[in-house]
């Protein structure tokens, strides 16, 4: 059995590759970038998902495909690149993959297909209507359609996992982190909002900036702190491997993520306590981010049980930050 893991240089994919190798599996990686993983049971194709020759090379001999790679961006100018990577890339990858002796496809989708931050009801479950609002969310929904189309016409069973937001714990207190920098640190947040062209948000953020590196509690215009799921990548890996090994996951769609959402006021207060960083509070224009997503289906049907609470993640993040500070 050879398992193809796309996005093998990424946050989730690289850890899944390592875990499968540790479990004795033979693995092919496929990513735009080299993963740096060296192992006798690992080969890697460096190339783009929508490059048919690269996709053919990557899928050769695969008995399962974990399609975990994707381009993630919320910048206004990135729509073409998103569609090439996530829509055409998924189509071409799977067209090539069905030529191999495939038994299973697992696809990493996203809560942005609902989208969770503009919910019709809470908690968001798998029956929630899908009405993405970002180009990224649209490409994930189109990816899901391609996966189900391929499943219908080829008979190869597929599982769609709608991922919660996920990070390695150490990223939480790293101002350079793609996600956590702008989420929890004031200066990266100002730069992010500038790049999105959100002038009103930039103005509010600048008002509270005293020049120091600070944590920031984001709230909506009525002072309600943001709330969303942040799932440790280690829990996501358990969910992905469960979906791969469970026959009853075939043909199913699951939300995959932590059980409890994170209240930003509580989380940032704990971060400040463990790091000594100052905290600023900002009330941003609009209704803000405030959602809860149900993982009941994957817990009940597959026995998924996340173990990394946000408190455990923040403790690990604070230790990692202290190490970085010592080394600098
Ligand atoms: P990541 O950005 O760390 O990894 C994605 C990998 O895909 C990268 O290594 C990148 O080089 C590769 N890639 C991008 N475009 C490519 C292309 N055209 N051809 C080949 N490789 C390409 O992302 P992650 O956090 O590991 O996310 C894994 C999956 O989970 C993605 O499908 C993402 O859309 C989905 N997801 C992630 C989150 C999250 O919060 N991290 C949330 C919801 C869904």
The per-residue b/e assignment along 228-260, b for 16 or more CB within 10 angstroms, e otherwise, is: bbbbbbbbbbbbbbbbbebeebeebbbbbbbbe
Protein residue closest via CA to atom 19 of ligand 1: 48
Terminal Cα-to-Cα distance of the chain (whole angstroms): 44
Q: Which is more confident, 325 or 115?
A: 115
33 Cα nearest atom in ligand 1: 11
How remote is the CA of residue 41 from the centroid of ligand 1, in Å? Answer: 23
Q: What is the per-residue pLDDT across 253-262, written as a single tens digit (0 to 9) for each?
A: 999 999 999 9
How remote is the CA of residue 86 from the centroid of ligand 1, in Å? Answer: 9
How remote is the CA of residue 139 from the centroid of ligand 1, in Å? Answer: 13
- pLDDT band, very low/low/confident/very high, at 328 (cuts 50, 70, 90): confident
Predicted local confidence at residue 184, as pLDDT: 98
Write out the residue limits of the CATH 3.90.25.60 domain(s) in the chain. 169-228+261-290+309-327
Query: Would you say residue 120 has pLDDT above 90?
Result: yes
How remote is the CA of residue 12 from the centroid of ligand 1, in Å? Answer: 8
Contact 41, 27 (CB under 8 A): yes
Please choose from 4, 5, 7 the residue to mutate so as to test ligand 1's pocket, defined by most ligand atoms within 8 A of CB: 7
84 Cα nearest atom in ligand 1: 18
Fold entry, domain 2-163 = Rossmann fold (3.40.50)
pTM for this entry: 0.97
Return all residues near 26 (Cβ < 8 A) that are at least 6 apart: 1, 2, 3, 41, 42
Predicted local confidence at residue 172, as pLDDT: 98
Q: Which CATH class is domain 169-228+261-290+309-327?
A: alpha beta
Instruction: Give the whole-angstrom CA distance, residue 78 versus residue 75.
Output: 6
> Residue range 172-189: average pLDDT?
97
Please choose from 71, 143, 177, 257 the residue to mutate so as to test ligand 1's pocket, defined by most ligand atoms within 8 A of CB: 71
50 Cα nearest atom in ligand 1: 18
Q: Give the DSSP per-residue string, 218-255.
A: EE-TTSPBPEE--EEHHHHHHHHHHHHH-GGGTT-EEE
Predicted local confidence at residue 101, as pLDDT: 86
- pLDDT band, very low/low/confident/very high, at 70 (cuts 50, 70, 90): very high
Instruction: Using a pLDDT cut of 70, give the percent of the chain over it.
Output: 100
- pLDDT band, very low/low/confident/very high, at 76 (cuts 50, 70, 90): confident
Query: Would you say residue 149 has pLDDT above 90?
Result: yes
Residues within a 6 A CB radius of ligand 1: 7, 9-13, 31-33, 48-49, 68-72, 85, 89, 108, 110, 163, 165-166
Return all residues near 88 (Cβ < 8 A) that are at least 6 apart: 49, 50
Write out the residue limits of the CATH 3.40.50.720 domain(s) in the chain. 2-163
The per-residue b/e assignment along 114-149, b for 16 or more CB within 10 angstroms, e otherwise, is: bbbbebeeebbebebebebebbbbbbbbbbbebbee
> Residue range 150-169: average pLDDT?
98
- pLDDT band, very low/low/confident/very high, at 207 (cuts 50, 70, 90): very high
49 Cα nearest atom in ligand 1: 19
Query: Would you say residue 232 has pLDDT above 90?
Result: yes
């Amino acid at each position: 059995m050879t398992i193809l893991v796309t996005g093998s240089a990424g946050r989730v994919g690289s850890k899944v590759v390592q875990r499968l190798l540790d479990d004795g599996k033979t693995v092919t990686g496929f990513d735009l970038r080299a993963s740096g993983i060296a192992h006798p049971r690992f080969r890697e194709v460096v190339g783009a998902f929508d490059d048919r020759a690269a996709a053919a090379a990557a899928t050769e001999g695969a008995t399962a495909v974990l399609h975990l790679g994707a381009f993630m961006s919320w910048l206004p100018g990135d729509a073409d690149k998103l569609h090439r990577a996530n829509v055409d890339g998924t189509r071409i990858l799977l067209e090539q993959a069905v030529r191999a002796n495939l038994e299973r496809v697992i696809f990493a989708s996203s809560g942005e297909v609902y989208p969770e931050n503009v919910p019709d009801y809470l908690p968001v479950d798998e029956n929630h209507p899908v009405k993405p609002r970002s180009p990224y969310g649209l490409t994930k929904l189109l990816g899901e359609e391609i996966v189900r189309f391929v499943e219908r016409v080829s008979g190869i069973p597929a599982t769609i996992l709608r991922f919660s937001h996920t990070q390695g714990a150490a990223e939480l207190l790293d101002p350079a982190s793609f996600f956590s920098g702008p989420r929890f640190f004031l200066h990266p947040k100002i730069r992010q909002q500038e790049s999105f062209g959100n002038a009103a948000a930039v103005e509010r953020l600048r008002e509270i900036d005293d020049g120091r590196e600070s944590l920031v509690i984001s709230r909506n215009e009525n002072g309600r702190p943001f709330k969303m799921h942040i799932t440790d990548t280690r829990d996501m890996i358990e969910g992905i491997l469960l979906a791969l090994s469970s026959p009853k996951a075939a043909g199913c769609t699951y939300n995959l993520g932590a059980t409890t959402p994170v209240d930003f006021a509580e989380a940032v207060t704990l971060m400040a306590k463990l790091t000594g960083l100052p905290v600023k509070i900002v009330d941003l224009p609009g209704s803000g981010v405030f959602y809860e997503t149900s993982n009941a289906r994957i817990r009940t049907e597959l026995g998924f049980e996340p173990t990394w609470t946000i408190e455990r993640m923040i403790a690990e993040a604070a230790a990692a930050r202290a190490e970085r500070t010592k080394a600098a």
